[in-house]
Homo-oligomer: A and B are copies of this chain.
Amino acid sequence: MTGKVDYLRLAKEFGVQLITDEDLGRLRELAGDVHPLLRRGYFYAHRDLNQIIERQAGGGRWALYAGRGPSGDLHIGHLIPWMLAKWFVDRFGVEFFFELTDDEKFLVKEGYSLEDTNRLAYENALDLIALGFDPKHLHLIIDTEDISLLYGIAVRIGKHLTLSTLKHTFGFTDSTNVGAAFFPTLEIAMAFLPSRVSGAEVPVLIPTAIDQDPYFRLGRDVAPLLGYPKPATIYSKFLPGLTGEDKMSASNPESSIYITDDDKAVRRKVMNAFTGGQATVEEQRRLGGNPDACPVYKYHLLFQDSDETVRRIYDDCRGGRLLCGECKLMLHERLSKFMVQHREAREKARERIGEYRIAAKLS
């Protein structure tokens, strides 16, 4: 899976490790299999993933941590790290701590009230729960409601972070509002929450996109100062835009498939997608397409369960046997099925959401 973003250079810039075949082999030994998102290289880099793997091998405790700035435009790409988290939960029975940052979204985005972002936190949580988590393994933290769990840790973190450090790390300026400037302490605090609530050393593994590294690099710097284990991370590439961009663009709704899209919209977006195909059917038959530069193929990689299907699509495209139209229909069929299931599961989650709130479990 390549593209115009130079992911190797990004990994090098951030100073993170690449996931090796050896890492995947070790994971397969322990889990019995390896999730497609890992074996197909969408998650490709990490910090201390191998330490988590070895901890698992030794029977040690660890947890997963991810988060979301609640908004109304959740797209299916947002679900991808959560799908990987689900795999870890299923294979290893670990707990998954999930932060809904209604505060941050309000602080950094215009046009949302705090009531809006809080309501959207619950809406977005439904999409997470819909992936099949049970309340025993998934713990929801909503910042404005569960702040009492995080603030004590955040204050300790905040004492170690000067405004200067935050400016350099996140590009804040003197015009940044102080709520937004303080927020990273809460995102880092979450990484220490599993240790805090259990009173034991529980390192976290954070599945996220590579550009979130600065938060957790800061968290790794601070962890030893506070006596917490350093958070480990596992980094994905960016979801490509269906319209051909390297990274989905929020300003172009045709570039991605939103959870709220109806089947007609899904079909339109897929059928209008940019591809790696040739200009004419004749050329495609003769020269074959280029799946490595094709967002439709990349979506197949992310959403097709079967390696056999993916390999056949790749080979048939290269060999000129598969035309873009057919390939798009296959993707639409897959996504359509996914969306129907997701919508159903999402509505069922609505009545059970209270069971996932960490506050309810701790009180």
| Chain A residues with a Cβ under 8 A of chain B | 103, 106-107, 114, 144-148, 151-152, 154-164, 166-167, 172-182, 184-185
Distance to closest chain B CB from A282 (angstroms): 58
A151 to B161, CA, bound (A): 20
- B185 lies within 8 A of A162 (CB): no
Assuming A107-B158, A114-B152, A178-B181, what are 12 further A-B pairs, CB within 8 angstroms? A107-B159, A158-B177, A159-B177, A161-B179, A162-B175, A163-B177, A163-B181, A164-B174, A167-B174, A179-B182, A179-B185, A181-B182
Q: Contacts A151-B144, A151-B151, A163-B163 hold; do A158 and B175 have CB atoms under 8 A apart?
A: no
Distance to closest chain B CB from A241 (angstroms): 31
- B164 lies within 8 A of A175 (CB): yes
Which of these, B145, B151, B178, B185, contacts A158 with CB under 8 Å?
B178
Interface SS, A side:
helix
A212 to B147, CA, bound (A): 27
- A176 lies within 8 A of B155 (CB): no
A145 to B148, CA, bound (A): 7
10 contacts between A and B (CB under 8 A): A103-B155, A158-B180, A159-B180, A161-B178, A162-B177, A163-B172, A178-B185, A179-B185, A181-B181, A182-B182
- A152 lies within 8 A of B144 (CB): yes
A162 to B180, CA, bound (A): 9
Residues in B neighbouring A164, C-beta threshold 8 A: 174-175
Distance to closest chain B CB from A101 (angstroms): 11
Q: Contacts A147-B147, A178-B181, A182-B182 hold; do A107 and B155 have CB atoms under 8 A apart?
A: yes
A178 to B178, CA, bound (A): 8
Of A147, A160, A167, A172, the most chain B CB neighbours within 10 A belong to: A147
